[in-house]
Amino acid sequence: MGEGALKPGWRLVKFGEVVRLNRDTCKDPVAEGIERVVGLEHLEPGDLRVRTWADVADGTTFTNRVRPGQVLFGKRRAYQRKVAVADFDAICSGDIYVFESADSSRLLPELLPFVCTTDAFFDHAVGTSAGSLSPRTNWSSLKEYEFALPPLEAQARIASLFSAWAVLCDALRDAEGQAASLLRALRESTFGRKSAPISQSPRQSLGEVVADGGVVDGPFGSNLKGEHWTDEGVPVVQGSHISTGAYVVDRPYFVSAETAERLAKCGVRPNDIVMIKKGMSCGSVAVIPGGLPPMILSSNTLRIRPDDSRLRGRFLYHFLTWYRETGRFDGLIGATQQKATTLRDVRRIPVPVPSLREQDEFIEVIESTASALVLLSARSMAAGSELRAILEA
């Protein structure tokens, strides 16, 4: 983009001309009254707030000084898109760059975090990163990033608009978190509290309360691998589709009708529960929504098909979610390099089997909260997408 293509008053600048890399250090944070330590793991992609941190009192080897209003940018694995604005004094990891406006009469500090969240900036950061396992970008490359900077009056308007959207996204994220907490509390009060009627219900193993052939493994990797993928056909349920606790397809996979027929015993249909059996999200479950076509399992998943005359699918889904989120599922994970469970162990999970009336009453109560969480999640994602669209525009 040349200067002639810009709006009147706008100009092309290099990042290092208007942004300063803060190199201040602090070797004795306790003496300076600093209580918080921010690591790369405390920055969440797409969230401009720092919501978690460690305590200086627990010890730290970090020395980078952070002050309120400064922008934190994760320089290691920049593709994770970790940018946040500090609103407290802290010490931070060496894997985090601390930015600030070099001159507020040229670049308003309020606009800087939004410059750092554009696709173009991340593309530059990722493109200039070095290293294979843990690529890092460097300041000498970042300061050469070129972007269009409006005059101060326009910067103020733009920053105000961005900030309003950020406040909305933040409020939706907070509401989403509160709804998720309420959902966890409802599950715990139902399944974890010994005095709760459902918790006192007779328990049977999962294998005893499902339909015939109701707990089924995905195919062995040799029976379903990359060479079987097609551009269209019968969808395949991947672990990545259910890792969030809901069935969300980020990238679809298909096999031919012939391959699906060969693997028919691994079939999946609406209202089935699918579980990840291997990897970091081992034990995560989701319910296949209605209206979807027949599918098959991938090798990293298994299927649970409840007997609705004894155990409602939504009831079982919430129980299995509680079973994992409270750490009980960890006892089913083998001591291997990669977290994994087996079909046999899943079938042995002890499941409470209250009356159908009690199950339906529980579902009615918890699903209203679950529906609110889904709505809030959708609104939060939409607001974030609109903010990114405005940023790029």
> End-to-end alpha-carbon separation of the chain, Å?
14
Contacts of 355 (CB under 8 A, 6+ apart): none
Match domain 202-353 to its CATH number in 3.90.1150.10, 3.40.190.10, 3.40.50.1370, 3.90.220.20.
3.90.220.20
pLDDT in tens, 96-150: 999 999 999 999 999 999 899 888 999 999 999 998 778 999 999 999 999 989 9
Same fold across 11-149 and 202-353: yes
- Per-residue b or e along 16-49, where b marks 16 or more CB atoms closer than 10 Å to that residue's CB: bebbeebeeebeebeeeebebbbbbebbbebbbb
Q: What does the pLDDT average to over 247-270?
A: 90
If DSSP states are collapsed to H, E and C, what string results for 59-124?
CCCCCEEECCCCEEEECECHHHCCEEECCCCEEECCCEEEEEECCCCCCCCCCHHHHCCCHHHHHH
Q: Does the pLDDT at position 47 exceed 80?
A: yes
Query: Is pLDDT at 70 greater than 80 in this prediction?
Result: yes
Confidence at 245, pLDDT banded by 50, 70, 90: confident
Residue for token pair 């939004």: 114
Q: What is the mean pLDDT of residues 50-66?
A: 92
Please, which pLDDT band fits residue 65 given cuts at 50, 70 and 90? very high
Mean pLDDT of 200-222: 86
| Residue 336, pLDDT above cutoff 70 | no
Q: What is the pLDDT of residues 4-16, one digit of tens each?
A: 578 888 899 999 9
How much is the pLDDT for 166?
77
Torsion of the alpha carbons at 116, 121, 126 and 127, rounded to the nearest 10: -160
In which band, very low, low, confident or very high, does the pLDDT at 340 lie, cut at 50, 70 and 90? confident
At 76, the pLDDT band (50, 70, 90 cuts) reads very high
pLDDT score at 262: 92
| pLDDT tier at 1, thresholds 50, 70, 90 | low
pLDDT of the residue at 392? 64
pLDDT at 93: 94
- Give the CATH class of 11-149: alpha beta
Task: Provide the residue ranges of all domains of the chain, joining segments of one domain with +.
Answer: 11-149, 152-194+355-393, 202-353
pLDDT digit string, tens, across residues 155-197: 898 888 888 877 887 788 888 788 888 888 989 999 998 888 8
* Model pLDDT, residue 4: 57
Task: Express as a percent the part of the chain with pLDDT over 90.
Answer: 57
pLDDT at 21 over 60: yes
Lowest mean pLDDT among 49-58, 162-171, 252-261, 293-302: 162-171
- What pLDDT is attached to residue 258? 93
Which pLDDT value is given to residue 337? 66
pLDDT average, residue stretch 33-37: 94
Contact 171/164 with Cβ under 8 angstroms? no
| 8 A C-beta contact, residue 354 and residue 306 | no
pLDDT at 36: 95
Whether the CB-CB separation of 56 and 31 falls below 8 Å is answered with no
Distance CA 21, CA 137 (A): 13
Question: Residue 92's pLDDT is what?
Answer: 95
Mean pLDDT of 333-340: 73
pLDDT for position 393 = 64
Distances (CA, A) of 151 to 116, 155, 156, 162: 18, 6, 9, 16
Label residue 2 by pLDDT band (50, 70, 90): low
**Contact indicator for 221, 227 with CB cutoff of 8 Å:** no
Mean of the per-residue pLDDT values of the chain: 88
Q: pTM for the full model?
A: 0.65
Where does the pLDDT of residue 327 fall: very low under 50, low under 70, confident under 90, or very high at 90 and above? very high
Provide the pLDDT for residue 225: 77
Separation CA 97–CA 99 (nearest Å): 6
* Angstrom distances, CA of residue 348 to CA of 341, 343, 351: 12, 9, 9
